[in-house]
């Protein structure tokens, strides 16, 4: 898919799939490496049967060369301006039999997060979510559920918009693709964890790309924003540990600018 077509889909549908971002010859090793990072680091569980590891880059760098894939950065720069930064790097494993998740839009549009743009939010692209298919995604394996076009709404089911977050939505579909593909969507798009009905874990990775002008410091442990809006209020918010300096130094040159803002002191 070329840039114009991808931008067209993102504008109208809110999502599209880029195929072959990780070559078939590499994706098996990366899947095993990410799975091992989740399982050896005691990753958190958000939905029953789903394993996750936030701040994944501190634990595993096997996938790092692909984060600066030109097709992804061209889309991100066209929609967000330059420079673009990575805000989240989280591994997600749907184990066979996992529960369905709840409809939500991602940070900063999730109204349950301490840091959010209050609904009704303005109609602009402010954050991009990518879900990396380290296993093949399908209706059977638990390919992410999306509601096409929902990014054009100024609210989402976390914001009491009349849609039950726990129930199927009539126009929902599964994002599907071969291992090595990347689902990219406007973070306002309504989406949900899907049940994995296959016999194998579905391994994925959520990487989010933010514009330079969006304040993401609430995600950083110890920041003023996090202290004020999460620690002092007891609110709920995602956390992304900073990248250790030796890990940052080891990153490929094109990837370093994406994490320069998030290196541990």
Ligand X SMILES: O=C(O)CCC(=O)C(=O)O
Binding site for ligand X (CB under 6 A): 92, 101, 106, 131, 144, 191, 193, 204, 206
In this structure, what token pair is assigned to residue 243? 């990248």
CA angle, 257 as apex, 252 and 258 as ends, to 5°? 90
Helix, strand, or coil (residue 218)? helix
Of 145 and 230, CB closest to ligand X: 145
Closest to ligand X by CB, 22 or 131: 131
The nearest distance, CB 15 to ligand X, in angstroms, is 12
**Minimal distance, residue 235 CB to ligand X, in Å:** 18
Angle at 139 between CA 238 and CA 240, to 5 degrees: 15
- Closer CB to ligand X, residue 153 or residue 193? 193
To ligand X, the closest distance from the beta carbon of 141 in angstroms equals 10
CB neighbours of 122 closer than 8 A, spacing ≥ 6?
A: 154
CA distance 21 to 10: 18
| Closest distance to ligand X from the beta carbon of 45 (Å) | 13
Smaller CB separation from ligand X, 80 or 203? 203
Residue number, nearest CB to ligand X: 144
Return the structure tokens found at 97: 């039999």
> Based on C-alpha coordinates, what's the Rg of the chain?
17
In angstroms, give the least distance from the CB of 246 to ligand X: 28
The first and second tokens of residue 227, run together, are 């202290």
Closer Cβ to ligand X, 61 or 98, answer by number: 98
């Amino acid at each position: 898919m070329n840039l114009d077509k991808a931008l067209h889909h993102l504008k109208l549908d809110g999502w599209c799939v880029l195929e072959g971002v990780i070559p078939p010859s590499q994706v098996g090793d990366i899947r095993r490496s990410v799975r091992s990072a989740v399982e050896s680091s005691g990753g958190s569980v958000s939905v029953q049967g789903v394993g996750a590891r936030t701040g994944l880059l501190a634990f595993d760098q096997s996938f790092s060369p692909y984060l600066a894939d030109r097709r992804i950065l061209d889309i991100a720069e066209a929609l967000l301006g330059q420079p673009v930064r990575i805000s989240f790097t989280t591994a997600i494993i749907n184990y066979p039999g996992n529960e369905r998740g709840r409809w939500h839009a991602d940070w900063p549009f999730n109204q349950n997060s301490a840091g959010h743009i209050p609904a009704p939010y303005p109609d602009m692209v402010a954050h991009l979510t990518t879900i990396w298919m380290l296993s093949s995604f399908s209706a059977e394996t638990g390919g992410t559920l999306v509601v096409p076009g929902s990014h054009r709404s100024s609210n989402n089911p976390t914001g009491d918009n009349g849609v039950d977050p726990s129930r199927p939505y009539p126009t929902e579909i599964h994002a599907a693709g071969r291992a090595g593909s990347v689902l990219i969507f406007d973070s306002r798009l309504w989406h949900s964890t899907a049940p994995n009905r296959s016999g194998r874990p579905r391994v994925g990775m959520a990487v989010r790309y933010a514009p330079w002008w969006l304040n993401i410091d609430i995600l950083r442990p110890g920041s003023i924003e996090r202290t004020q809006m999460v620690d002092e209020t007891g609110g709920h918010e995602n956390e992304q540990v900073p990248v250790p300096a030796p890990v940052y130094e080891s990153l490929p040159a094109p990837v370093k600018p994406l994490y320069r803002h998030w290196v541990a002191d």
